[in-house]
Amino acid sequence: MAAWELLSPTARLLPCVRLEEVFEAVTHRTAEYGVVPVENTLAGSIHLSFDLLYEHELFIVAETICHIEHAVVGAPGVRLDQVKKVLSHPVALAQCERFFRMHPEIQSVPEYDTAGAVEKVIKENLRDAAAIAGRRTAEIFGGDILADNIQDHPENYTRFLLVSRAPRPPASGAGRSKTTIVFKLANAPGALFRSLRPFAERGVDLTKIESRPIKGSPFEYLFYLDLVSGPGAAAVVEEAIQELARSSVSLRVLGTYPLSLNDK
């Protein structure tokens, strides 16, 4: 769903088992773009995605936010009372705990991907198993929906990023945009406070701050910031980033891209 929204329904998709493989595919030109999740309103940040953004020389060129609605999808003709196990990504399984409490006879089984779990159930024509995924997957793979809207919370959204080998700044005159940066600070009192001051003084909206440990440097951290600006404010954001760069050990702009219309 995210790939179709970010690209088009005709985009040729290359499934990857691990997030690392998505970044490697784009880096080595096996794929033109990568679509990766970065945060969910229930589960929080996907930390591995942030680490991989830093480790690879790729750029964020777009984002989208998908409303997550889970369904139980089975092979054609299978009834829910026949199902003994349900396959899905661990996060999707965790978001449907109420369903498993209502059906204690059904075992949850982790799989690497929600859509991949549906594909497995349908292709292998499993009669005692089903999968949890979006209802659209039932249409794609020819399965039956055995239970719908089983997620614990209706306000369940996941934010996805589109990454590429080259930056693609928003067109001139476009609407609001988001800039994502990552930086490292010296370990000194008040360093984080001073790092945020350039944005506060210029009225730049910070929508997210995330800290991640630096591998090989115990108790040292990288900070990720999402900055939102309106039309014509690019120069102000750039000025604030340059001021932060002068007081940082290192700083990198991961991308400037249009703010998702679904951004909450």
The residue whose two tokens read 């900055």 is 227
Q: How far apart, in whole angstroms, are the C-alpha atoms of residue 147 and residue 252?
A: 45
- Residue 175 near residue 259, CB atoms below 8 Å: yes
Of the candidates 160, 183, 199, 223, the residue annotated as catalytic is: 160
Q: Catalytic annotation on 158?
A: yes
Catalytic member of 114, 158, 180, 256: 158
The neighbour count for residue 139, using CB atoms within 10 Å, is: 11
Reduce the DSSP state of residue 63 to 3 states and report it. strand
Is 160 considered catalytic here?
yes
Encoded tokens for 90: 């661990």
Of 159, 154, 157, the closest CA to residue 260 belongs to 159
Residue 170 DSSP class: P
Q: Which residue has the tokens 């229930």?
A: 42
Q: How many CB atoms lie within 10 A of CB 187?
A: 10
Coil, strand or helix: which one is 131? strand
Number of separate helices (H) and strands (E) present in the chain: 9, 13
Beta strands in the chain (DSSP E): 33-40, 44-45, 59-67, 71-74, 85-88, 107-110, 129-133, 144-147, 157-164, 177-184, 205-214, 217-229, 250-258
Determine contact, residues 40/66, Cβ cutoff 8 Å.
no
Active site residue ranges: 158, 160
